[in-house]
A and B are shown apart, each in its own frame.
Chain A
Amino acid sequence: MLLEIEDVSLLYGRIQALHGISLTVAEGEIVALIGANGAGKSTTMRAISGIRPIATGSIRFEGEDISKLRADLRVRRGLCQAPEGRGIFPGMSVLENLDMGAYTRRDRAGIAEDLARVLDLFPRLAERRKQAGGTLSGGEQQMLAVGRALMSRPKLLLLDEPSMGLAPMLIQQIFDIIKEINEQGTTVLLVEQNAQQALARAHRAYVLETGKIVKTGTGAELLHDPAVKEAYLGVA
């Protein structure tokens, strides 16, 4: 297993946001985490990337316990998150943003290679390479956030709401690219409100409700699960 999370709970002050979550991600998979607003999806991501400390449980990455490891060291282990709400650097140009993604790396040739690959995946970013990140449109910023995360050449890519606030056309495009990234060999853990799209492409998925995992299965299974359909897919 690439990532194993066991019985993780997390507190925001006195409020318990996660109640003993366990999940696994195997190498080469796309795993989706779906759920309503406030179910704890983004919190789970923050726990994995190390932005928020966990209260109990353990997080193991490639067999190593990283529960207590600082966030920047987790990036060095090969775990990179594209943050929710995009979180790009507004004053840096597109290229500088992408360069920040490779902050932990020193191999120039490899970085140049990955830059070419990212610009190939996102031709829009290539067009705007000199433009300041803050002046990009929402969709472009989202692409930049994903591209930047790829620049660290992660073993596991964490995507927090990649489709948030995007037009339907762009959502389609972003998910196609995620699929492509996965086929090129990067494992993906994906948090989404857009359950339809996420389940259609994920190998496996977990359903999160008020900080607990209530259901799990393959993407296709959950897509046809009546309870999931009713709660998340808007089909009665």
Chain B
Amino acid sequence: MTTVLERVRSGREAAGERWRGAPRWVRWALLVAVIAFFYALPNREFYQYLGPIPTPGANFTQVLFTVSIYVLLAVGLNIVVGFAGLLDLGYFGFFAVGAYTVAVLTSPSSNLKTLWPWLLVVPLAIGLTMLSGVMLGTPTLRLRGDYLAIVTLGFAEMIRIAAVSSEFLKGQRGFNQIPHPPGKYADGKPFFGVLDARPYYWLVLTLIILVVIGVRNLTHSRVGRAWISIREDEDAAQLMGVPTFKFKLWAFASGAAIAGLAGALFAGKQNFVNSQNFELLNSIIILAAVIFGGSGNIVGAIVGGGLVAYMIERFRGIELFGVELYEYRFLIFGLVLVVMMIFRPEGLIPNRRRAAEFKDRRKEVIVGE
């Protein structure tokens, strides 16, 4: 057992070494190939040759869109949890704020009847989620420990319950006819239609790439160093002159902004938003995805978000001994997480620092005993 594990581990380390040691152009070529693969993926002409990858029980391009939204959310949550080390249990609440902002301001079923175009509302949705992040963070981020987790959990539930019961937010009936993103083909047909999910997926994919570039630049700057120092030892960070509260608030608000963007995209694609879209479980799934992938590592968050969202859909339509596997998806998901936490608590693709921190903490536990 251990020897197999060891071999897997050393194999992965060798792969990592080879990646870091490879010449620049090889890495770029690989990166371009991967990105091209994901742009090509939703085309039937391409994915029908991929064997078991397409989902049998669901429209594959639809699934890809859902997966891409989860990846975007995982990248955003990774800033909060992975870089700054703040436990946010209600991340989906920000997603809801983004989606509802779009719904309220664009849908004809809204009481406001503003009927603004989608594109105009997107920056507003991002701004408003960011503001809600600041409002939530300002009182709680001054405190240490588990307060933030509890408050964020409460926040997500508050948003959901408001959505269910408030007349303004329409509850189960929801908002319909939310406009799609703009854009037309040469022949006048809209680029973002109802039937084809591919353009939405491409849009989200492009935004993911842009967001990742932004986040990467941020983490390699003074801001990133400040975040990492806060995560590793908040007292020490403060003693080094890092304004910890300010940077925690920054991480929290930028994470929220990305969730708001994802929510706006979701509303623009779905055309319809109601209170059932924002269950608490979703927040947990994204958090689990980030930790599963390797929190603190952007690639890890992408892989985690993608895998988790995809796996859940992949179970659809599979029967085992007369049991529909999809019904048990969260059970299986939970089991995978438990096994993962035992054998590889730092995630699939951990951050090198993060791995060292885990070791350090384990040492402390042993000393403490």
Instruction: Name A residues whose Cβ lies closer than 8 Å to a Cβ of B.
Output: 49-51, 70-73, 75-76, 80-83, 87-92, 96, 99-101, 103-104, 132-135, 148-149, 152
Kindly identify which residue among A73, A83, A104 contacts B236, using a CB–CB cutoff of 8 Å. Answer: A83
Q: At the interface, yes or no: B66 with Cβ under 8 Å from chain A?
A: no
Bound CA–CA A92/B222 (angstroms):
14
B226, B237, B353 interface centre (most CB from chain A within 10 Å): B353
Please indicate the chain A residues that have their CB under 8 angstroms from the CB of B237 in the complex: 100
Q: At the interface, yes or no: B235 with Cβ under 8 Å from chain A?
A: yes
Given A51-B239, A89-B232, A148-B240, the answer on whether A100 and B356 have CB atoms closer than 8 Å is no
Please indicate the chain B residues that have their CB under 8 angstroms from the CB of A49 in the complex: 239
For chain B, the bracket of interface size reads 20 to 34
Bound CA–CA A83/B359 (angstroms):
21
Shortest distance in angstroms between B224's beta carbon and chain A's nearest beta carbon? Answer: 11
Shortest distance in angstroms between A216's beta carbon and chain B's nearest beta carbon? Answer: 26
Interface pairs (14), CB distance under 8 Å: A70-B243, A71-B239, A76-B241, A83-B236, A87-B239, A88-B233, A90-B359, A91-B353, A91-B355, A91-B357, A92-B232, A96-B225, A134-B360, A135-B356
Given A80-B240, A87-B233, A103-B241: 18 more A-B contacts, CB < 8 Å: A72-B243, A73-B243, A76-B241, A81-B239, A83-B239, A87-B236, A87-B239, A89-B233, A90-B356, A92-B228, A92-B229, A92-B232, A92-B353, A103-B240, A103-B242, A134-B357, A134-B359, A152-B240
Within B219-270, the residues touching A (CB, 8 Å) are: 222, 225-226, 228-229, 232-233, 235-244
Given A132-B356, A135-B356, the answer on whether A88 and B236 have CB atoms closer than 8 Å is yes
Bound CA–CA A104/B361 (angstroms):
28
Q: At the interface, yes or no: B354 with Cβ under 8 Å from chain A?
A: yes
Instruction: Name B residues whose Cβ lies closer than 8 Å to a Cβ of A.
Output: 222, 225-226, 228-229, 232-233, 235-244, 351-357, 359-361, 363
Bound CA–CA A88/B239 (angstroms):
11
Please indicate the chain B residues that have their CB under 8 angstroms from the CB of A50 in the complex: 238
Please indicate the chain B residues that have their CB under 8 angstroms from the CB of A133 in the complex: 356
Please indicate the chain A residues that have their CB under 8 angstroms from the CB of B242 in the complex: 72, 100, 103
Kindly identify which residue among B225, B235, B359 contacts A100, using a CB–CB cutoff of 8 Å. Answer: B225
Complex contact A100–B229 (CB within 8 A): yes
User: Is chain B's binding surface mostly helix, strand, loop or mixed?
Assistant: helix
Please indicate the chain B residues that have their CB under 8 angstroms from the CB of A87 in the complex: 233, 235-236, 239
Given A90-B360, A91-B353, A134-B359, the answer on whether A83 and B229 have CB atoms closer than 8 Å is no
Complex contact A134–B241 (CB within 8 A): no
Bound CA–CA A96/B236 (angstroms):
14
Given A83-B239, A88-B236, the answer on whether A72 and B356 have CB atoms closer than 8 Å is no
Shortest distance in angstroms between A104's beta carbon and chain B's nearest beta carbon? Answer: 4
Kindly identify which residue among A72, A88, A149 contacts B238, using a CB–CB cutoff of 8 Å. Answer: A72
Please indicate the chain B residues that have their CB under 8 angstroms from the CB of A88 in the complex: 233, 236
Shortest distance in angstroms between A68's beta carbon and chain B's nearest beta carbon? Answer: 15
Please indicate the chain A residues that have their CB under 8 angstroms from the CB of B359 in the complex: 90, 134-135
Shortest distance in angstroms between A26's beta carbon and chain B's nearest beta carbon? Answer: 23
Please indicate the chain B residues that have their CB under 8 angstroms from the CB of A96 in the complex: 225
Interchain residue pairs A-B with the least CB separation, the first 5: A91-B353, A75-B241, A134-B360, A90-B360, A104-B241
Bound CA–CA A91/B82 (angstroms):
13
Bound CA–CA A75/B361 (angstroms):
27
Shortest distance in angstroms between A214's beta carbon and chain B's nearest beta carbon? Answer: 28
Kindly identify which residue among A70, A90, A99, A135 contacts B232, using a CB–CB cutoff of 8 Å. Answer: A90
Bound CA–CA A12/B286 (angstroms):
37
Complex contact B353–A132 (CB within 8 A): yes
Closest to A132 in B: B356
Please indicate the chain A residues that have their CB under 8 angstroms from the CB of B354 in the complex: 91
